[in-house]
Structure formats: C-alpha cells, structure tokens
Amino acid sequence: MFQILRRNPTALWWSLGLHLILALLLLVGVEWLVPPGSPGSEQPVIEARILASKALEAQVEQLRQEAGALEGLDLPEVEGPDQAEMERLRQEREAAEAEARAAAERAEQEAAQQAAAQRQAEEQARREADAAEASRRAEIQAQAEREAQRRAEEQAALAEAESRAQAEREAAEAKAIAEAQDRAEAERRAAEAARAKAEAERKAAEDWRQAEAKARAEVERKAAEQRRQAEAKARAEAEARAKAEAERKASEAAKAKAEAERRAAEERRQAEVKARAEAEARAKAEAERKAAEAVKAKAEVERRAAEERRQAEAERKAAEAARAKAEAERKAAEEKRQAEVKAEAEAKAQSEAKRRTEAEARRKAEADRQAAEERRAQEAQRAREAEALDALAAENANREAFRFGALIGDRVEQQWVRPPGSSRGLECTLELRLEPTGDVVEGSVRVVSGSGSAAFDGSAIAAVYKASPLPVPSGQAFELLRHFRFKFRP
C-alpha cells in the first residue's frame, strides 16, 4: 500500500479525502443518536424513513396523550420500536460506509494500477523513442561514412532515412500520445463510473448523509481539477518535447548542411592538391626526359670521340705502314745500288739518317699534335658534360624551388584569415627572406605590389608570419628561395 502511495501521490489525497468524509459521517451519526426519553429526539425520528405499523401507532398514541401528565407517557412502548429502527438505520449506514470504503479502496487500487500501467507505457514509449533515435543516429553515421564513396546516392538515402525516421518518430509519438489519451480517458471514465456509483449510493442515503454528499462533491471537484491540471501538464510536456524535437532536428539539419559544405570544400582542396601533384609529376617526367636526352647526348659525344680516336689511330697505322713500305723499297734500291756507287751509298746513308731523324721528329710531332687534340677533345667533352650537368641541376633546382614555392603559397593561404569587408579577387606581391630551417626572417616580409586594400595586405603579411616555419628544399633549390617574391592571390 505504501509503495502505491509513493508511486501515485494522488491516491494519498484520495485516501485522505475519503477518511475526512468518513469522519464527517461519524460526527453526523453521533448527532443523530439522541438519548432515549428526550422529547426533542422524537421529531427527527418521525421525519426519518417509514416506520413499522406498531411504532407508528405508538407515536400516534403518544401524540394523543401529549396533554396528559408526563408520568402517563408509555415511553417503553415508543422507545422500543424507535430504538430498534435507529439501530437498523445505524447498521445500514455503517454497511453503506463500509461498502463506500471498500469501493474507495478499490478505486484507489484501480487508480494506482492505472497510474503504474500509464508510467510503464510512458517508459516503454520513451525507450522506444530512444531506440528509434539511436537507430536513426546510427543510420546517419553509416550514411555519412558511405557518403565519401557515393555522395549523390547517399544523400538521397540520407534524405529517405531521415524522412522514414521522422515518420516513425512521429508515429511513435502519436501512438504514445493516443495511448496516453486513451489511458486518461479510461481513467476518467473509471473515475466517472466510480463517481456515478458513489452518487447513486449518496442519493440512496441522501436523507441522512447530506453533509457527506457535499464533502464528497468537493473532493471530487478537487480531484477532477487535479486531473485536468495533470492532463494540461502532460499536454504541455508533450508540446515541449515536440518543440525540443523540432529544434533538435533543425540543429541536426544545419549541422548536416555545414558538414556537406565542409566536405565539398575539402574535396575542392583535394582536387587542387591533386592537380598540383599531377603538374609536379608532369614536370618531373619532363625533367627525367631531358636528363635522359642529356645522357643520350653525352653517350653520342663519347661515341663520336671514340670514333675520331679510332680514325686517328687508323690513319697513324696507315702512315706507319706507308712509311714501312717506303723504307722497304728504299732498302731494296739501296742494296741494288750498293755495287754501283759506294760513295753515293755512304752519302745516301748519311742523307737517309738525316731523313730518318727528320721523319722521326715529324712522327713525334704528329703524335704530340694528335695527343694534344685528343686532350683538347676530352677536355671539351668534359666541359660540355659538366655544363649539361650544371644546366640539369639548375633546371631541377628551379623545378624544386617552383614546387616548394607553390607549397609555401598553399601554407600561407591556409593560415590566412579574410579581413571583414574585404572583397574577393584581391591580390598582392610579397617579398620575404627565409632561413634554411624554413623560418621567416623577422621583419623581412614586405609588400612589393599592393592590392589597394591595407587590411588585405596586412592580413597577407600576418598569414606569412603565422605559417612560419615554411616548407623549404635543401641545397641549390633553397638558395633560389632564400630571398624571393610570390604573388598572394587567395
């Protein structure tokens, strides 16, 4: 019983009201029980319900003898039936009161059971709503994860899931409201039935329970007022929940829109990064192609140099063969002429020795000339190779510097905050100096060509300092970026 009272405080008020009514009934009953023999107690008894015929005859006889002496009154004959009738009325009243108490207790138990059932139904409805909300959030999360792959299809699925969840949620809320209204209506009908039954009982004993009727009507009015207030409160809470749900859905829609815009911006940025990467890949491929061409050119130069060396060696060997052949012919002529002219042979021998010395000198000079030419050709080849390597390194450094310049521009643009009132399409040229670590030299950033807006130029300079340290290459490429200019066009 106490657990029911704790769960349903309204039953406590009902119980208190019924006990007050019973107390009033007891008080009224005590007033009716006038002591026997009192002349003033006979009139209320006569005004009560129809008495037995013997009691009526005794009362008539008593009225006839009113003029006589009081000692002649036959009070025992009158009092006996009146006392029995009063006792019977008292028993009927007590039985009616007991029945009313039992009915009140049954009504309290039924009201407590209905309240408990209503609370369980409301709790079930809340659990179902929470489950539906959790399911809807899980569905939204799953759709958000799939949106990266098939954005267009998942947006349609998201809209469909949201509408379905909304319909389910509205149906659940409508069902819960309908059930609550049905329960309230059933409770109201039960209360009305109880009131009707109590009213019937009250009318049956209306002659001797007028005070009880008034008290019960007041209690019922208060209970009805409390129920109306409870129903109004329930409706207000339902409307507040509906309003909060609408605000939450609007907030979720705004968040979903902001998330879609952020993802679109992220996709645009990724597309730009991809385009830059493709441009860098094309530039790298072009550099590799040029390097391959340079290697091929170097190989061609080496091949031509080797061919020239082979041709020179062949010419030298041919000259030596020619000289050997001439020498053989000369020796043959010299042997043929030895018998004819000895003196001339000696002179010719001296002349031949001189010629040999001169020929050897010419051959040595020719060999020295060829060696010098080969050295000059090799040095020229090495110079051309070094020049080609230097040009390739410079081109690679330029490409690396250009790539890191684009990265620096992206980093500065990420740190840039658009000043209030700044129009789009502005641009300015900035000059700065960098340390090998990428740190911007303090005070080195200046505007070379302004945009016409001091706020925009200042925000660009602030973005450069905020983005420090910047990404920088190493070696010759950094020297090209140590002191450079770039156009800031967000």
Lowest-pLDDT range, 41-45, 89-93, 248-252, 315-319?
Answer: 41-45
- 10 assigned to some structural domain: yes
- Spatial separation of the C-alpha atoms in residues 118 and 113, rounded to whole Å: 8
How many CB atoms neighbour CB 61 within 10 A?
13
In a domain, 254, yes or no: yes
| DSSP annotation of 449 | E
Please tell me whether residue 468 adopts helix, strand or coil conformation.
Answer: coil
> What local confidence, expressed as pLDDT, does residue 311 receive?
84
| Cβ atoms 334, 355 nearer than 8 A | no
Domains held by the chain: number: 1
Confidence at residue 67, expressed as pLDDT on a 0 to 100 scale:
46
Q: What is the CA radius of gyration of the chain?
A: 61
Average per-residue pLDDT in the chain?
A: 79
Asked if residue 114 belongs to a domain, the reply is yes
On whether residue 384 sits in a domain, the answer given is no
User: Any idea what DSSP says for residue 483?
Assistant: E
Q: What is the pLDDT of residues 41-94, one digit of tens each?
A: 444 444 444 444 565 567 656 666 664 544 444 434 434 445 677 788 888 888
Instruction: Return the structure tokens found at 306.
Output: 């080797």
Which of the four pLDDT bands, split at 50, 70 and 90, describes residue 332? confident
Nearest by Cα to 34 from 74, 90, 73: 90
What is the reported pLDDT for 445?
92
Sheet containing 483-488: order of strands = 446-449, 428-433, 483-488
Torsion of CA 394, 396, 398, 404, to 10 degrees: -150
189 occurs within a structural domain? yes
Q: What pTM did the predictor assign?
A: 0.27
**In this structure, are residues 398 and 480 in contact, taking their beta carbons and an 8 Å threshold?**
yes
Q: 466-477: per-residue pLDDT in tens?
A: 998 999 888 888
Assess if residue 162 is contained within a domain: yes
**Which residue segment(s) compose the domain that 115 sits in?**
2-267
Confidence at 102, pLDDT banded by 50, 70, 90 = confident
How does residue 333 score in pLDDT terms, banded at 50, 70 and 90?
confident
Three state DSSP letters for 201-219: HHHHCCCCCHHHHHHHHHH
474 occurs within a structural domain: no
User: Which three-class secondary structure state does DSSP give residue 410?
Assistant: helix
Q: Answer whether residue 424 is part of any domain.
A: no
